[in-house]
Amino acid sequence: MIELLFLLLPVAAAYGYVMGKNSAKNQAHEQNRKITSEYSKGLKFLLDREEDQGLEHLIKLLEVSADSVEHYLILATLFRKRGELDRAIRIHELLLKQPSLDVQVIQSCKLALAEDYIMAGLLDSAEEHLVELVKANYQEALTPIIQLYSQTREWQKGVNMYESHAELFTEQVYCAAIANFYCEAALENQAQENQTNDYLERALKLPKTTIRPLYELGHDALGKEDNVKAIYYWRKLVSQFPCAVPLVLQDLHICYQRLNIDHEFHALVNDLLTTSGVLVKIKHCEGLVESGHTQQAVAYLTDSLKREPSIRGFSFLLKLLATRQDKFHSVLNEVDNLVSAYVATKPDYQCRNCGFTSHKLYWLCPSCKSWESILPSQGVDGY
Ligand SMILES: [Zn+2]
């Protein structure tokens, strides 16, 4: 009989195992039911616009299911898109109070909260969170904090941030922003001359070269009648950024003329012919005319316009022809006046990022808020 009882032991063990498993299943089932119930209640309250109760229910759910954090982030983004910033802020603030979140979730939640604050005009609160993120080497925080300091014109804060976390500024777009922060700070401190130069020189030492420091250093030198220095900076500018040549070409020519080395300017123009636009071609033709080769200038420009049509080039060609054709002088001048009037209506600058156009040069695009994205216009009507 006792042997028989021993034989039943495996059966009892198997029974215990199955019962235990069922109990665990039941617990999981009960938890799921609780989650679904709280989730439904919370969403119902939100849909009924009973915000506080709705959010309380959803937050209760967090205590039982940290996996649903992603859903809350989506929900908050939806509220933000609908302009319901107070709700988006409340969800993000409550999420940040949860003890069990991992570092990555906390960081993306802080970034989202900072974006809510910016949209709501709570700039100090936004800055606080963004500064914390930058200190934690969270690169995604750079764009919003740069936009924030651009908006508040707190150049020095931006410069300090860069100098403390230079390793984060690896991309051209970040370097362009910081270079412009240095330039803006330098121009605001023009009374203290040494500081101006120091700031502009520091902007040149960023990991990526950008347009504005070279542009401003050249102008600073030109203002002090240091033509050699102006030529030094602007030659660097035109060789590295062919798209920016129209910004300085005329002033660069003046520097060479003051030093009586016009021939060196025309040698530089020759070097730029293949990479730059119509303004360089016009300068090339002016050089040919000055040295008595007007016919050569007409032939060069006609050939060039066939390959790359340009209204500004056409206008210059009309002027050249008018000087040579006594018979048609007045007619050609009339046509040129019409073409010039048309050109004057065309924008001089265009944002490469959003297409914003203007007659004035802005270093910060008023439309898309990008730094150094506005450059001289290109194409048939451009430079
Ligand atoms: Zn733009």
Give residue-wise pLDDT tens across range 262-304. 999 999 999 999 999 999 999 999 999 999 999 999 999 999 9
User: What is the 217 CA–ligand 1 centroid distance (Å)?
Assistant: 25
Inter-residue contact 94 to 51 (CB < 8 Å)? no
CATH number of the domain within which 86 lies? 1.25.40.10
Residue 199 in this model has a pLDDT that exceeds 80: yes
Query: For position 194, what pLDDT does the model report?
Result: 73
Q: What is the 3-state secondary structure (H, E, C) of the chain?
A: CHHHHHHHHHHHHHHHHHHHHHHHHHHHHHHHHHHHHHHHHHHHHHHCCCHHHHHHHHHHHHHHCHHHHHHHHHHHHHHHHCCCHHHHHHHHHHHHCCCCCCHHHHHHHHHHHHHHHHHCCCHHHHHHHHHHHHHCCCHHHHHHHHHHHHHHCCHHHHHHHHHHCHHHCCCHHHHHHHHHHHHHHHHHCCCCHHHHHHHHHHHHCCCCCCHHHHHHHHHHHHHCCCHHHHHHHHHHHHHHCHHHHHHHHHHHHHHHHHCCCHHHHHHHHHHHCCCCCHHHHHHHHHHHHHCCCHHHHHHHHHHHHHHCCCHHHHHHHHHHHHHHCCCCHHHHHHHHHHHHHHHHCCCCEEECCCCCEECCCCCECCCCCCECCEEECCCCCCC
Amino acid at 67: D
Query: For position 219, what pLDDT does the model report?
Result: 96
Q: How far apart are CA 228 and CA 256, in angstroms?
A: 8
Query: For position 210, what pLDDT does the model report?
Result: 97
Residue 318 in this model has a pLDDT that exceeds 50: yes
At 12, the pLDDT band (50, 70, 90 cuts) reads low
* Residues lying with their CB under 5 A of ligand 1, a single-atom ion: 351, 353-354, 356, 365, 367-368
At 215, the pLDDT band (50, 70, 90 cuts) reads very high
User: What is the 86 CA–ligand 1 centroid distance (Å)?
Assistant: 29
Q: What is the mean pLDDT of residues 195-206?
A: 91
Whether residue 76 lies inside any domain: the answer is: yes
User: What is the 53 CA–ligand 1 centroid distance (Å)?
Assistant: 43
Cβ-in-10-Å burial (0-12, 13-18, 19+) of 13 comes to exposed
Residue 5 in this model has a pLDDT that exceeds 50: no
Domain that holds residue 75: 41-61+68-152
Q: Structurally, how many domains does the chain consist of? A: 1
Whether residue 137 lies inside any domain: the answer is: yes
Residue 127 in this model has a pLDDT that exceeds 60: yes
Q: How far apart are CA 288 and CA 68, in angstroms?
A: 73
In this predicted model, which residue has the larger pLDDT, 15 or 210?
210
Residue 75 in this model has a pLDDT that exceeds 80: yes
Whether residue 226 lies inside any domain: the answer is: no
Tokens of 289: 């005319």
Query: For position 79, what pLDDT does the model report?
Result: 87
User: What is the 213 CA–ligand 1 centroid distance (Å)?
Assistant: 20
Query: For position 77, what pLDDT does the model report?
Result: 87
Residue 183 in this model has a pLDDT that exceeds 70: yes
Whether residue 81 lies inside any domain: the answer is: yes
Task: Give ∠ CA 109-110-116 in degrees, rounded to 5.
Answer: 90
Whether residue 183 lies inside any domain: the answer is: no
Query: For position 331, what pLDDT does the model report?
Result: 83
> β-strand 374-376 against 349-351: which pairing, if any?
antiparallel
User: What is the 45 CA–ligand 1 centroid distance (Å)?
Assistant: 42
Whether residue 100 lies inside any domain: the answer is: yes
Whether residue 102 lies inside any domain: the answer is: yes
Query: For position 1, what pLDDT does the model report?
Result: 47
User: What is the 147 CA–ligand 1 centroid distance (Å)?
Assistant: 13
Residue 4 in this model has a pLDDT that exceeds 70: no
Whether residue 126 lies inside any domain: the answer is: yes
Give residue-wise pLDDT tens across range 242-265. 999 999 999 999 999 999 999 999
Give the residue from 344, 338, 333, 374 showing the smallest Cα distance to 357.
374
For residue 136, count other CB atoms closer than 10 A to its CB: 12
At 13, the pLDDT band (50, 70, 90 cuts) reads low
User: What is the 190 CA–ligand 1 centroid distance (Å)?
Assistant: 28
User: What is the 354 CA–ligand 1 centroid distance (Å)?
Assistant: 4
Tokens of 352: 């490469």
User: What is the 359 CA–ligand 1 centroid distance (Å)?
Assistant: 14
Q: What is the mean pLDDT of residues 88-96?
A: 89
User: What is the 371 CA–ligand 1 centroid distance (Å)?
Assistant: 8
Give residue-wise pLDDT tens across range 220-244. 999 999 999 999 999 999 999 999 9
User: What is the 150 CA–ligand 1 centroid distance (Å)?
Assistant: 14
Q: How far apart are CA 237 and CA 71, in angstroms?
A: 49
User: What is the 176 CA–ligand 1 centroid distance (Å)?
Assistant: 14
User: What is the 352 CA–ligand 1 centroid distance (Å)?
Assistant: 7
Tokens of 322: 């008018």
Percent of the chain with pLDDT over 90: 64
